[in-house]
Amino acid sequence: MKHTNKFAAVLAAGLLFAGVAHAAALDQFKAFVASTKAAKGEFTQKVVAQGSKDKLSSGSFVFARPGKFIWSYTKPYDQVLQADGEQLFIYDKDLNQVTTRKLGDALGSSPAAILFGSNDLEKNFALSEAGSRDGLEWLKATPKAKDSSFEQILIGLKNGTPEAMELKDSFGQTSILAFKKFEKNPALNATSFKFVMPKGADVINN
């Protein structure tokens, strides 16, 4: 599958300021998690790996906790990662192929758990302050699971909203995400996350 599938499996700065500035990142994040049951917006993603050209992609997302989301890539390929709370579907439009798997604990220590998981993030992540940079307050989330494919995740916040994420994986790649048009708690209905199987799609069950 294309590099974007790593997101389904596939989301440490020095102290720049003391006390207040650093407390703000964790406080903002906890307030965001507590007050935001659903959200939607747009994203851009850049995957940086040594010895290869940066991979750029973009699209949109919508989520509702816990475990319901649609993460849609529109450039450079049409690809959708969608979860209905029980199953995860990865749809590659070009191949007309759908990969399915039980959601279960699949979110776990993945970057998706930051936005889409339950409110109990400290069960799977060790959270710590990571300073101020680019006008954002940064929080570091380190997966507690030893078998996580990610070494660390940085979340940049401003005014109580995530505006960026930097994901460093165990393969030496860094994914840099930027969010825009972030809308908290939009109106959603019961069928918003129901996956409709494309006609004639090749289905792979994992």
pLDDT grade, residue 107 (50/70/90)?
low
Residue 82 lies in a domain: yes
The CATH number given to whatever domain includes residue 25 is 2.50.20.10
Q: What is the pTM of this model?
A: 0.80
Full domain range(s) for residue 40: 17-184
pLDDT (tens digit per residue) in 44-77: 999 998 888 899 999 999 999 888 999 999 998 8
pLDDT (tens digit per residue) in 116-172: 777 677 888 899 999 999 999 999 998 888 777 788 899 999 999 999 999 998 888
pLDDT for the residue numbered 119:
66
Contact, 77 vs 59, CB < 8 A? no
Q: What CA–CA distance (Å, rounded) separates 5 from 27?
A: 31
Residue 109 has pLDDT above 50, yes or no: yes
Residue 107 lies in a domain: yes
Residue 200 lies in a domain: no
Residue 198 lies in a domain: no
HSE (CB half, 13 Å, CA atoms) of 143?
A: 22
Residue 204 lies in a domain: no
pLDDT (tens digit per residue) in 14-46: 223 333 344 489 999 989 988 999 999 999 999
**Looking at the chain, how many residues does it have?**
206
More confident residue, 4 or 136: 136
Contact, 11 vs 167, CB < 8 A? yes
Residue 206 lies in a domain: no
- Going by the DSSP 8-state scheme, the letter that residue 115 receives in this structure is H
Residue 4 lies in a domain: no
Which of helix, strand or coil describes residue 54?
Answer: coil
Which of helix, strand or coil describes residue 125?
Answer: strand
Degrees to nearest 5, angle at CA 184 with 181 and 188:
105
The string of DSSP codes covering 83-107 is EESSEEEEEETTTTEEEEEE-TTSS
Residue type, 57: S
More confident residue, 1 or 140: 140
pLDDT for the residue numbered 105:
56
Which of 179, 150, 156 has its CA nearest to residue 13? 156
* Domain count of the fold of the chain: 1
Residue 179 has pLDDT above 90, yes or no: yes
Residue 158 lies in a domain: yes
